[in-house]
Structure 1
Amino acid sequence: EGQRKSEKSQRSQLDLCVVLFKARVGSTIGSLVEHSKRQVRGFVGCNKMLEAGEYVVVPLAFNHWHTGLDDVTAYPRYVLAIHSSKKLLAENIQPPNHILADAIISLTLARGQRHEGREGMTAYYLTKGWAGLVVMVENRHENKWIHVKCDCQESYNVVSTRGTLKTVDSVPPLTRQVIIVLTQLEGSGGFSIAHRLTHRLANSQGLHDWGEPGACHDPELDSETLGLHSPRLF
């Protein structure tokens, strides 16, 4: 939850989502257990009857990305409240580098719409109950890259985790990549999502005539976006 009684939180509400996974030894997260809807409001919540075990809770928010908040310490803070009829232990842990990518990929695989773009490629779109859009691409080829252009420039009142509404990526063999996450910018106003995907097979990783020489992503992935948009082996 955000600060529900704060006037500031009413002026700039975040897109909040809480996702619960099974914990897995030696990996970032296990299987998806439950999640809230993603909503632009002061708080969200979900309920689940859980078996005894270890779980990972991942709170998510994206609409403050690329909005001028360059100082990480100035990012909005949050409060996570857990209510249980049984005793439990909860601790705050240092997340793995790619926890955002793994969480969004798992959620999109479970809840997104599948589109078989071509042989060996599946595009997933997460829109329902998401206050925006996730586009994720799966490349099942063992020795071919998939070049993906994603054009969302006709969308309205949304912010992109890539900092732009048009992206180009080279998705390596046997990986999944979160191409873009679009988020409703303001909860009080309407928003619209438009997206168009163009793709082709390639024998090497560079974007060739779709990008700068030697580039694999446009815009390039940096320290702020690597954790969410890096291709992940499956």
Structure 2
Amino acid sequence: DWSDYSHLWSENPDLHFELLNNKRNKHDGVFWMPFISFVKYFECVDICKLRHNWYEVRDSSNFYPVPKMMQAYYLTISYATELDITLHRKISKNLRIQRSDVSLCIAVINMEEQSNGNYRIYSMPIVSRRDQHKLISTNGFLQPGTYVILPFLFNQVNKYLDNTEFTIAIHSSHILDIQRIKLPLRIEREFLIKLCIFHGEPVRISKKSDNDDNQSDGVTIYELKKYWDGLVLLVENRHPSKYVHFHFRCTLSQNTLISRKDSRSELFDIIPPNYRQIIVTISRKSPSNSFTIGHDFEYMLSSQNFIKQGEGIKQKHWPKIDESQLSDDIHLPQCILSAKHN
């Protein structure tokens, strides 16, 4: 409507004078549109940041190079370095509908591999927000050392994706080196657990009586909202011998996706002694609309390791989760003692 020859300019002479008065070439490719049209047809704006004497490293790969594995990178830095990191998911216009169901995140972590084959993340110097656009970026400052870059593609509804290719670009104030590595998908569970512990908020539960001590039962509940457009709920059971019987209720949910398969409004879980569990992640579904999450929960300690009542009676988790030894289910309870210094 607002092309160079549009009648709208003559109907709005003040705008014509302000925006087109100094325009010399009507074929320069510059055009105007109302802001309401801009936000309707464009999801994001990319701004190229040019820095003098900075370095760039790029790589294109697949989020899942082989089954049950995710692409990651060793990052080696020799000098204190400032970085800008961008992750771009390759997606065609006809895949636009999938953008609301998957999301991206980048994290730079310190981790170690344990003797049992699991991984322990002990710091996250750089982490981006989880975002549903086709690209995300973050920045930070790193001291010399070796780190791991984790490019995540969160697909909570396990929707089939035609394309899982991506490009990562790292701009840095000093030369650095990256090397491709493959990590088991279960690293996502460790990442979410540590994200809750490092950046989540412990939930304070009202005491039942004056003699109760909130910390005496060894149970800590974390709610993560920072870095996550929604909610991640983690339960930690440090009681030496008793199981946590945890009951979660989603009382209100609008424009959200819930991570538990076949989930309804209620979840039941048994968390063993000295274990942690991601109970659920709830995420905004459509990035262009607001969302609402209403929830409550309750728990009790018991010597029994199964659900005592309800639809999931005699089970350990309801709805069920994959409890196999090498499961990459993010809801599988994870042992605390296997990760020292946690």
Question: Is TM-score (shorter-chain normalized) higher than 0.5?
Answer: yes
1:147 aligns to what? 245
Identity %: 27
CA distance, structure 1, for counterparts of residue 137 and residue 290 of structure 2 = 23
- 1:24 matched to 2:112? The reply is yes
2:90–2:163 Cα contact (<8 Å) kept: no
Does the Cα contact within 8 Å between 1:10 and 1:42 map onto a contact in 2?
no
3-state SS, counterpart of residue 177 of structure 1: strand
1:137-216 to structure 2, matched below 5 A, reads: 137-163=235-261, 164=263, 165-216=265-316
The Cα offsets for residues 180-228 of structure 1, whole Å up to 9 and x where unpaired, read as 0111111122211111112111102111214534310011112797431
Aligned Cα RMSD in Å? Answer: 2.5
Partner of residue 65, structure 1:
156
Unaligned 5+ segments in structure 2 are 1-86, 206-213, 337-342
Asked if residue 109 in structure 1 is aligned to residue 231 in structure 2, the reply is no
Identify the residue that residue 333 of structure 2 maps to in structure 1: 231
SS at match of 2:138: coil
Shift of 1:109: 0.7
TM alignment of 1:122-137, pairs within 5 A: 122-137=220-235
The answer to whether structure 1 residue 53 and structure 2 residue 145 are counterparts is yes
Which range moved further: 217-226 or 150-159? 217-226
CA-CA distance at 1:116 after TM superposition: 3.8
Stretches of structure 1 that go unaligned for 5 or more consecutive residues are none
| Closer/same/farther in 2, CA of residues 42 and 102 from structure 1, 3 Å limit | same
Whole-angstrom distance in 1 between the partners of 2:92 and 2:320? 37
Q: Deviations over 1:91-120 (max 9, x none)?
A: 332223531111011111111111144532
The answer to whether the Cα contact below 8 Å between 1:35 and 1:46 also exists between their aligned partners in 2 is: yes
For the residue of structure 2 that corresponds to 1:86, the secondary structure is coil
- In the alignment, the residues of structure 2 paired with residue 60 and residue 3 of structure 1 have an alpha-carbon distance, to the nearest angstrom, of 10
Q: Letter of the 2:191 partner, please give it.
A: A
Pick which of 44-53 and 76-85 moved more.
76-85
Distance 1:128 1:206 in 2: 33
Q: What's the TM-score, normalizing by structure 1? A: 0.86
**Structure 1 counterpart SS, 2:223:** strand
CA pair 158-196 structure 1, distance change in 2 beyond 3 A: same
**1:162 match: secondary structure:** coil
For 2:334, give the aligned amino acid: R
1:150-191 deviation line (CA, Å, top 9, x unaligned) = 112411111111132431110111111110011111112221
Shifted more, 48-57 versus 98-107: the winner is 48-57
Q: 1:56 to 1:9 in 2, by over 3 A?
A: farther
Which of 133, 138, 145 aligns to 1:41? It is 133
- Who is 2:167 aligned against? 79
> Once the 2 structures are TM-superposed, how far is the Cα of residue 45 of structure 1 from its aligned partner?
1.4
User: Structure 1 139/83 Cα, relative in aligned 2: closer, same or farther at 3 Å?
Assistant: same
Query: Is structure 2 residue 180 aligned with structure 1 residue 92?
Result: yes
Aligned residues: 230
Kept after mapping to 2: 8 A contact 1:19/1:36? yes
Q: How far is 1:134 from its partner?
A: 0.1
SS at match of 2:183: coil
Cα pair 1:9 1:42 within 8 Å, conserved: no
**2: CA distance between counterparts of 1:85 and 1:111?**
27
Give the superposition deviation at 1:76.
Answer: 3.8
Worse overlay, 182-191 or 7-16: 7-16
CA distance in 1, matches of 2:286, 2:219: 34
